[in-house]
Amino acid sequence: MLALVNKGVKVKATGFGRVDFDVEEALRTIYEANPHALMFGTDLPSTRAKRPYCDDDINLVYRALPLEAAEKVLYKNARAWYLQSR
């Protein structure tokens, strides 16, 4: 996935309850590869997740990344992408 991220592919950071790896480490690694790649999503209605979305998923992003980086992942990257897509 990092090869694609390095080429500009966007990654939806969501479904934290469906994975079996360290989400915080994955967020840091992807962010370091391309700070514009990650866009947070809730994964609602989370029908396939063992643990559905919870508000702490947002806190996980804040724990994993410095404040400016977390804000990019939580909304600034998506906003920039949507504005560029117009």
Both tokens of 86, joined, read 């117009």
Domain ranges of the chain: 2-84
23-33 vs 56-64: helix crossing angle, rounded to 10: 50
Mean pLDDT of 28-32: 97
Compute the chain's Rg from CA coordinates. 13
Judged by DSSP in three states, 84 sits in helix
More confident residue, 75 or 16: 75
pTM: 0.89
